[in-house]
A = this chain, B = another copy of it.
Amino acid sequence: MADNPPYIAQRPKRADGARNYDAILASARKAFEAEGSDASLEDIAARAGVAIGTLYRHFPTRAALVEAATRDGLADLVARAESLAGDDDPLEALATWMSSAVRHFSTFRGLVGILTRSMYDEGTPSHAACAAMHSGGADLLSAAQRSGQVRADVTPDELFDLLSGAAWVRENALPGGGERGERYLRLVLEGIVAHPRAR
């Protein structure tokens, strides 16, 4: 019954293996940013100077490669949530964190979808990182709610929906994606702040 955990890529100890592993990751990051999460694996291998079998040996699935390529960024986000927790201005802290999260989520086309799926699917390589991120964001949200700055009826899942939507727009709004993503987030945040007059 216990389905085995998802495959998490590990950097090999042997010199040639480690070198190839690094080269593939660097090549993959470039390709993902240029062509999105469905970039050609053969191209990635070729540009890393290895045969296709070597890519598969280190990263048996595309999801494993994506996980490895985005691992550090996700860890940074979790660390950032922890360091922002307990901030004097919880709303400011939440806004700052969401902005960096949106930026990371839209590193390349297709990443938001992968992370969103990972958030609710334990069988994906990025699930652990996503769950950690989810709880980091939830903490910042509940602090902002306790301080009365954010409406009490917003759930963590909804926070991530808003965040994902902003990231999707940032990645897909062709003319001036970055700025539009920021503007989008600001609109959304003003939508969840607690207005004394609003019911």
Contacts and interface: CB of A to CB of B under 8 A. Distances in A.
Interface of A: 112-113, 116-117, 120-121, 154, 157-158, 161-162, 164-166, 168-169, 172-175, 180, 183-184, 187-192, 195-198
A101 to B, nearest CB: 15
Contact of A187 (B117, B174, B191, B195): B191
Contacts of A169: 161, 164-165
B190 A161 contact: no
A111 to B, nearest CB: 12
6 contacts: A112-B168, A158-B180, A161-B184, A162-B187, A187-B192, A191-B191
A157 B166 CA distance: 14
Contacts of A196: 197
Count of chain copies: 2
Contacts of A180: 157-158, 161
Contacts of A173: 116, 161, 164
A189 B162 CA distance: 12
A173 B173 CA distance: 20
B187 A190 contact: no
A62 to B, nearest CB: 15
B174 A158 contact: no
Given A113-B172, A116-B172, A161-B173, A190 B184 contact: no
Contacts of A188: 162, 187-188, 191
A174 B158 CA distance: 13
